[in-house]
Structure 1
């Protein structure tokens, strides 16, 4: 139950506003009477559907007491009163049927309406009667809303899982024990009835999930006089399959004597039938059972001996014995659940009938003891002091350097016709062929011969480069270059006179362009001239090569040139706005703002 249940007036407003939004609201003068009837009949049927949907949702969401677990049914009876709960749901169901009848009657009357006025009045009467029916359900709706809010706050308890249930007088340490085992963080205070409802915590034991339930304190008086808080504990103890931990405080700091606590146990022990029960003595840091007087000690011994209930001791303050109590309770419950499952399973008899244990009959007086061979004995019994036992892999590991040094020999266990085959090299297969068949057996000798020939060529200077020749040529070129003349320093007057005589910049003529192209073609012809040396061709090519992409492969050159072209491209400032621009193109889209009239009017 997560939906809010509206009150009576809110319910009417919700339905009428939905009718206004979801159905047509305008009748034009040219409409025929048949269309006018259909217009108002649609209003009545739509109102019926809205009320039916809302009320049906309420009836579906609330649990039916006859269909849920008896623990939850009794708990709801304790908290909300079964009669009031059923009565409220019954009134909601009756209101739904009345609204259906009203809609059916007025739809029949609208078929015979002969004017717009009569159709409208019949529609108003139908909606008015539906609204009146809903106004009368305001108390039921208010009650169900309170129940919904309280149900949402109840803990989620699984009645069939492994459960430890803590019970006893108020202020005996139940909530403290709960906080030690789980992370429920139940409030703990030094006064009675701090816990007023059931609290659930979860823990893990033996890789299983367990739930621990902390119940409110119970006082020793008749069942009819117990209040709602105490009845929650009684309901949990009566219906849950769990291990009962009955807590007692021998120090009497809880405000109740040992005799009163024993009396409470005898009054509620009828609820512990067929359930594993443990008597838990808390606060042993203050008082232990052996420190009691004889009368109180006799009362406790009577519970332990007569009812055959184990007694355990713990102290939540010092945490002494807390985990021992938990482990013992969990083991006891697991054993009880297994035993109960064995009793209730019908298939166990069929399985036992299929099993047959054969016992051989004794034919003479001769003793025939069991015979176990020595080899099997060594395998069964691992005795490190026996000199005749078989060595294990662990012994070999210790003898050969220990873990990390010793490598297990897996090939020694191979079962082959010849033991010499165990350590043969396993052939490598590739594409269905043995790789060893394609290896030259003389490859190492050939490789050694190649290396000797390589060393001989290096010693003879076969791989020497012509770097010396290049150095000589470079020296000759530098010697032929004249030294630059010293720059003359002219005065201002002489410099201005020379600048006036210099010719101005002019554009190239057609003849000059032809000469430039001719010179470029001549350069190309010179490069392709076979009489030139290789070094001259390389130097001439380097002068015509683009240095920005030198040293790059063909693929890298294409990427570099593409990036250069993209950066050189001018920005298109006059482009149209697109989806990537962070602007709203249409301020008021028609499908959101066009529709019915903007002014308010009562058209119900």
Structure 2
């Protein structure tokens, strides 16, 4: 479980943004209208509310910053020292202390001007007190620019730190630069750390997670350490020292015996002895890496003695090659086992174990008589054990793993020993792969062994029948005698009569093609009758259809106004009526019968358009008018310092 989640710290604004946020919030969350003719008590409350709201906003914002940043005295010593290495403890405390002081000053300004506001005797004086209070608060915050900028940088760096749980099962990898620490981390965990053939590729702590015995483990890759005094170590090296000093973990010290890292074995052994004080009360594992390049047997005697000298105080030597993955899993298993054993031993030595033991009770049966009842082993089991030890068991009695000393009742139920003990009617059924389903029989017992041969016989018989049927169809001549032909004719006639009656019942009218209807419908008389039914005068149309002349007719002006023409000498009211009738008179191609038909269609269209325009507040379907380009609730803000000075 991760105890410290530094990624949730809120962003620290700059002093300018801090002031803008608070003043904007004050303007939005408090009333904005006051008039000189108000009662003086109402005016005082108006400005007092603004002062108190701004002060409380500054106070809440600063409190949030102070609460979210970790206090070095309250967190784990590992994180406290790590923050001291990365950010300087004094500078960090000074920045938080300055913000705490700024919060107190803002509270004092808020309190003082709330008292002075009670003595304001006019709108102007109350307003000046409000301006002075907000101005002093903003001045206090503007002086905190350096602290706010520093804390924002610290927050960004804290968010990038790995989430390390100081109390969980941990493996720490350490050693000189470029000895294979990051490669080992990539092999045993799901992490992906950059690996390069030069020193100090890893400049900060990297964490990977792995599983062992169904338990989660965290593996920490530390930057390389050089062998020089503690005072001369830089920030990168001090991160490794901090992790080694404060985390209860198993230490994996990696030594490059091929010396490709740029440091010889003597220097690496010297570094181990210089930081050995950090390994106190921790299981240590010395890993000889890069054995694919140089074998331990190929080393000089002096180097072998130096390496053997590392195996002191419980440290264990293991060889490994991260390139060929030889010994990688062994290193992981050994380190995890050593750490688990130490954690269990520490818990047994602790004070909490007595509290747990007091809550455990081992029940012992009370003797009901004076008889002794020792452990009883059945004779068959005892006989089987003796036969197994003496090698007298046959193949069916021998288990898959003869060297396994586990009693047979603790082994898998599907083993041969268990199957041999099945009590079935026929002993041959004991070792069937398919279990019985009824009366000692399984599915295989109900399958005919000759089923494939019978299937082939059926297929051959079917092919012969198909060939005989085809030959018979070819030999027979498909001809009808007179009686059969008469029957077929009656059936067809009956079918046609049924179709005709069905059409009549459904009132379906059949149409003939136009080329057969020329004599009946496509003539001028039929057209005139059709137009007359629609209420139109067919005289001109019939005459035009009957005339054989193709010459265009000349238009003559008549003495009286014809249809569609207006009388210019008529009154204005009559002219308006004539215009309306002319507009409503159906024209060829519009598809209306008469004047009433067109008027009715226009009314229906008008009703439909009313519904459309009412729904979206439009004049018509083409209306794109925007009624208010700048609505007040979006564009009204704080007023300037001009004539509207009453606020």
Q: Is 1:308–2:314 an aligned residue pair? A: yes
Aligned pair in 2 of structure 1 residues 321, 475: CA closer, same or farther (>3 Å)?
A: closer
Secondary structure of the residue aligned to 1:400 is helix
Distance in 2 (alpha carbons) for counterparts of 1:189 and 1:47? 55
- Taking structure 1 as the reference length, what is the TM-score of the superposition? 0.67
Query: Residue 303 of structure 2 is aligned with which of 287, 296, 312?
Result: 296
Give structure 1 stretches of 5+ with no counterpart.
Answer: 359-367, 412-469, 481-490, 508-569
Are 1:407 and 2:446 an aligned pair? Answer: no
Quote the Cα distance in structure 1 between the aligned partners of 2:343 and 2:252. Answer: 16
**Cα displacement string for residues 21-63 of structure 1 (whole angstroms, at most 9, x for unaligned residues):** 2222232232122111111111110110110111011011101
User: 1:510-589, aligned counterparts within 5 Å?
Assistant: 576=611
Q: Contact (CA 8 Å) 1:378, 1:390: kept in 2 or not?
A: no
Q: Note closer, same or farther for the CA distance 1:583–1:265 as it changes in structure 2 (3 Å cut).
A: farther
Does residue 320 of structure 1 match 2:326? yes
Q: In the superposition, relative to structure 1, how do residues 109 and 173 fare at CA in structure 2: closer, same or farther (>3 Å)?
A: same
Q: Which stretch shows the higher mean deviation, 349-358 or 43-52?
A: 349-358
Q: Which residue of 2 aligns with 1:329?
A: 335
- Match among 225, 233, 237 for residue 226 of structure 1: 233
- After TM superposition, give the deviation of residue 307 of structure 1 in Å: 2.1
CA RMSD of aligned residues (A): 4.6
2:536 aligned partner: none
Please name the residue that 1:532 is paired with: none
Alignment CA distance shift 1:369-1:116 (3 Å): closer
Give the whole-Å Cα distance in 2 for the aligned partners of 1:584 and 1:335: 83
Distance 1:588 1:170, change over 3 A: farther
Alignment of 1:464-483 (within 5 A): none
How far did residue 109 of structure 1 move? 0.7
- Secondary structure of the structure 2 residue equivalent to 1:220: coil
For residues 532-575 of structure 1, what are the alpha-carbon distances to aligned partners after superposition, in whole Å with 9 as ceiling and x for unaligned?
Answer: xxxxxxxxxxxxxxxxxxxxxxxxxxxxxxxxxxxxxx999568
For residues 55-106 of structure 1, the C-alpha deviation after alignment (integer angstroms, 9 at most, x for no partner) is: 0110111011122112111111111111211111111011001101011111
**Aligned residue number for residue 450 of structure 1:** none
Q: Of residues 10, 18, 28 in structure 1, which corresponds to 2:17?
A: 10
Contact 2:284–2:314 (Cα < 8 Å) also in 1: no
**Separation (CA, whole Å) in 2 of partners of 1:34 and 1:264:** 78
Q: What is the Cα deviation at residue 278 of structure 1?
A: 0.2
Shift of 1:392: 2.5
Partner Cα separation in structure 1 for residue 341 and residue 110 of structure 2: 62
What's 2:458 paired with?
none
Q: Does 1:108 align with 2:147?
A: no
| Selected match of 1:81 from 85, 88, 93 | 88
Question: SS in structure 1 opposite 2:135?
Answer: helix
Change (3 A) 1:256 1:401: same
Report SS of the residue matched to 2:166: coil
User: Are residues 1:159 and 2:188 paired?
Assistant: no
- 1:283-432 maps to which residues of 2 (within 5 A)? 283-304=290-311, 306-344=312-350, 345-347=352-354, 350=357, 372-375=377-380, 377=382, 385=396, 391-393=420-422, 399-400=428-429, 405-407=434-436
Query: How many residues of Structure 1 are paired with residues of Structure 2 in the alignment?
Result: 466
- Separation in structure 2 between the aligned mates of residue 233 and residue 477 of structure 1, nearest angstrom: 104
Residue matched to 2:70: 63
The CA deviation at 1:311 is 0.5
Residue in 1 that maps onto 2:59 = 52
Which of 88, 101, 110 is the equivalent residue of 1:94? 101
Helix, strand or coil at the partner of 2:162:
coil
Asked if structure 2 preserves the Cα contact closer than 8 Å seen for 1:183 and 1:201, the reply is yes
Task: Deviation per CA, 1:377-408: give whole Å up to 9, x if none.
Answer: 47989966569999424999993396663226
CA distance in 2, matches of 1:353, 1:26: 74
Alignment check: 8 A CA contact 2:40 2:123 kept? yes
Alpha-carbon contact 1:169-1:217 (below 8 Å) kept: yes
CA distance in 2, matches of 1:475, 1:93: 107
Q: Is contact 1:218–1:233 with CA below 8 Å preserved after alignment? A: yes
Q: Give the corresponding residue for 1:199.
A: 206
Instruction: Assess if the C-alpha contact under 8 Å between 1:187 and 1:194 holds in 2.
Output: yes
Distance 1:356 1:369, change over 3 A: closer
1:175 equivalent in structure 2: 182
Matched, 1:601 2:640: yes
Provide Cα deviations, 1:139-180, integer angstroms capped at 9, x if missing partner: 111110110010010000111122111000111111111111
Deviation at 1:499, TM superposition (A): 11
SS at match of 2:288: strand
3-state SS of paired residue (2:99): helix
Residues of 1 paired with 2:24 and 2:89: CA distance? 35
Maintained 8 Å contact 2:347/2:353: no
Q: SS of 2:286's equivalent?
A: strand
Structure 2 CA distance, aligned partners of 1:584 and 1:284? 84
Per-residue CA deviation, residues 198-225 of structure 1 (Å, 9 max, x unaligned), is 0001122222222111000111122222
Which deviates the most, 584-593 or 285-294? 584-593
**Structure 2 Cα separation of the partners of residues 272 and 493 of structure 1:** 116
- Residue 597 of structure 1 and its aligned partner are, at CA, apart by 4.0
In the alignment, the residues of structure 2 paired with residue 57 and residue 25 of structure 1 have an alpha-carbon distance, to the nearest angstrom, of 28
CA contact (8 A) 1:44 1:103 kept: yes
Q: Which residue in 2 is equivalent to 1:19?
A: 26
Q: Does structure 1 conserve the Cα–Cα contact (< 8 Å) formed by 2:290 and 2:323?
A: yes
CA, structure 1 residues 34+500, in 2 after alignment: closer, same or farther (shift >3 Å)? closer
Q: C-alpha deviations, 1:257-296, integer Å up to 9, x for none?
A: 2111111111111111121110000111122222221222
TM-score of the superposed pair, with normalisation by structure 2: 0.62
Contact 1:180/1:316 (<8 A) preserved? yes
Matches within 5 A, 1:260-279: 260-279=267-286
Identify unmatched segments of 5+ residues in structure 2.
1-7, 366-372, 399-416, 441-486, 498-515, 534-603
Instruction: Call closer, same or farther: CA 1:403–1:228 in 2, change over 3 Å.
Output: farther
Cα distance in 1 for partners of 2:623, 2:433 equals 69
Say whether residues 1:122 and 2:161 are aligned partners. no
